[in-house]
Chain A
Amino acid sequence: MSSSRTDILKSALAESLWPRPPLWVGAFGAAALALLLAYPFIFTTPFAHHLMILILLYALMAQSWNVVAGFSGQISLGQAIFFGIGAYSSTVLFAKYGITPWAGLMVGMLLSALAAVAIGVPTLRLRGHYFAIATLLIGSSVQIVFQRWDWVGAASGLYVPIERASPWFYLQFHTSKVPYYYVALGAVAAGYFAVWKLRRSRLGFRLQAMRDDPDAAASLGIAIARHKVLAFMISAAMMSVAGTFYAQYVLVLDPERLFSAEISIIVLLMTVLGGSGTLWGPALGAAILVPLSEYSRIWFGGTGRTIDLILYGILILLVCMWRPSGILSLLEERIRRRAEIP
């Protein structure tokens, strides 16, 4: 090996695996964190709280889609299944057996992961768009089952029984939305931290390799089928947390809404918009699309529901034409790629 090559190797080995982000990124991050922590006291109206709670909730949901699709390359169109399972798990356990939603949260995550195995093992063997189609159809089937299932209230759904004592134990807050805000912020922080860790792990490397080229990944010793199912399980458990939280927030379970294909698709739109396969893309997408939806509903009244979808469509179109890898990818690429060797 020539001496110049040895020198380059030495300096390459001295670099750290994860380049330090530039200072301005750190400063921006710290400012954003401070703003998030102080938000309920800066913006004090219930609507401002509600808006941010929704953004956080969707940021978590979009991240769950990002894990299975953005990092692992499996386009799921059935994320609503796990949103519903999360909501129903905690609510059924609380309404029928008086069990705290915190336990229900765990049960929901477990059931969702199991459902992901049941759905994923037969469908993830299929290549191409079959997994997307299968999850979309299974999603509708699950919705129909819940709409007919008397034990969980069939089409009229379930109510979360009101409990005014020990709000933190029962995860219900009736005087203010602020505790909900911090619970949601905590869930998002935990979820994003988990994905951050995942990306910096052997599993994370393997999932991304599998996404970019399953054959090459397999030739390098990665068990493709198992890793696809694993990614789907992690994604499902994450989505389930959002479902449980949503149930505690609105206190009404409507299978029409919980298992709707719209939820499965909106989490996709947010992630693609913000940047699929990036850590912060899903959050950025949620921060753009949720206010768009809420304000269009305010400005256009009842018809707002369709206007927001039209706006979503236009935005997605623009992103696909201008930057298919999402808004954030512009930035992340710059941070991840270091300067060339002088």
Chain B
Amino acid sequence: MSPLLDVQGLTKRFGGLTANANIAFDVNEGEIVGIIGPNGAGKSTLFDLITGFQSPNAGRALLDGRDITGLRPDRIGRLGLARTFQKLKPFVDLTVTENVMVGALAHTPVLKTAREQALESLAFVDLLDKRNHFARELSTGQRKRLELARALAMSPRLILMDEVTGGVDQRSVAGLVALVRELKQRGVTIVMIEHNMQVIMRLADRILALHAGRRIAFGAPDEVRSDAAVVDAYLGTIDHAA
């Protein structure tokens, strides 16, 4: 079986800085792949390259065997690849329901259908009680869940999540982790950037570790955790900091 997402040698340079150097990894249907790496490792740039927000200098990304490199973000979205942003991007002057409807409207022209799907999506992330609030009134944790609901309303095959638990209080983290688990059960394939090592080690089937724009490890959580390069480049620095 060919992987749902196949990333081959993606490279992105900004002037003299190489943000992504020849990154390769693959994601199988139904899998959770975690991406870890210290700040500036090139994680968000990798998401931007895969989703068409930036174009790579070299390499390509295949979604279900189809080359999506260089397509516009909206085309890639309509092909079933959704994403959330590290820097949250709610539609502030729309209500919570309306925000999520925009996601559902990607695949249905009927507002009524879009609304039903939006509400189901909001129920899934447990944000229904805020449905008639404007998005600008939400807290950071609520905005994270809104962003997730909006992406899910597109009924994506694959979702890229950029730091779902970042900047969220400890209690909400557990809820978000449960959400991700439930998503996987529903058959959604997930790639998630995650700083919280405990969270990612428990959730991910495989982990991609980046450092300074390079891939330093890719494999099962246990392998990656004990990988010398990862320990040295990433976990080591955390230990020193802690």
A interface with B by C-beta (< 8 Å): 1, 5-6, 8-9, 12-13, 17, 19, 200-202, 205-206, 208-209, 211-213, 215-224, 277, 333, 336-338, 340-341
Contacts and interface: CB of A to CB of B under 8 A. Distances in A.
Contacts of B93: 208, 211-212, 277
Interface string B83-116: 1010001111111001101110111010110111
Chain B interface residue count: which class? Answer: 35 or more
B228 interface: no
Contact of A218 (B74, B94, B119, B133): B74
Given A202-B109, A341-B129, A216 B98 contact: no
Contacts of A336: 95
B91 A212 contact: yes
B51 interface: yes
Closest 7 interchain pairs by CB? Answer: A221-B106, A216-B89, A212-B91, A218-B73, A221-B77, A213-B89, A221-B78
Nearest to A200: B111
Contacts of B78: 221
A147 B76 CA distance: 47
17 contacts: A5-B123, A8-B129, A9-B119, A9-B123, A12-B128, A12-B131, A19-B132, A205-B101, A212-B90, A216-B90, A216-B150, A218-B72, A219-B74, A221-B106, A222-B74, A223-B72, A337-B134
B95 to A, nearest CB: 7
B126 interface: yes
B83 A13 contact: no
A17 B74 CA distance: 26
**Which residue of A17, A19, A216, A217 has the most chain B CB atoms within 10 A of its CB atom?**
A216
Contacts of A209: 91, 94, 99, 102
B77 A12 contact: no
Contacts of B98: 205, 208
B128 A8 contact: yes
A337 B77 contact: no
Contacts, number: 117
Nearest to A214: B89
Contact of A206 (B53, B77, B105, B134): B105
B95 A5 contact: no
A217 B147 CA distance: 11
Contacts of A220: 74, 77, 82, 102-103, 105-106, 150-151, 154
B162 to A, nearest CB: 11
Given A1-B123, A208-B94, A221 B154 contact: yes
**Residue from B85, B101, B103, B128 whose CB has the most chain A CB atoms within 10 Å:** B128
A277 to B, nearest CB: 7
A201 B93 CA distance: 16
Nearest to A208: B94
B120 interface: yes
Contact of A217 (B102, B111, B131): B102
Contacts of B154: 220-221
Interface in B50-80: 51, 53, 72-75, 77-78
Nearest to B53: A215
Contacts of A277: 93
Given A5-B123, A5-B128, A213-B92, 10 more contacts: A9-B119, A19-B132, A205-B98, A209-B102, A215-B89, A216-B90, A218-B72, A218-B73, A220-B82, A220-B102
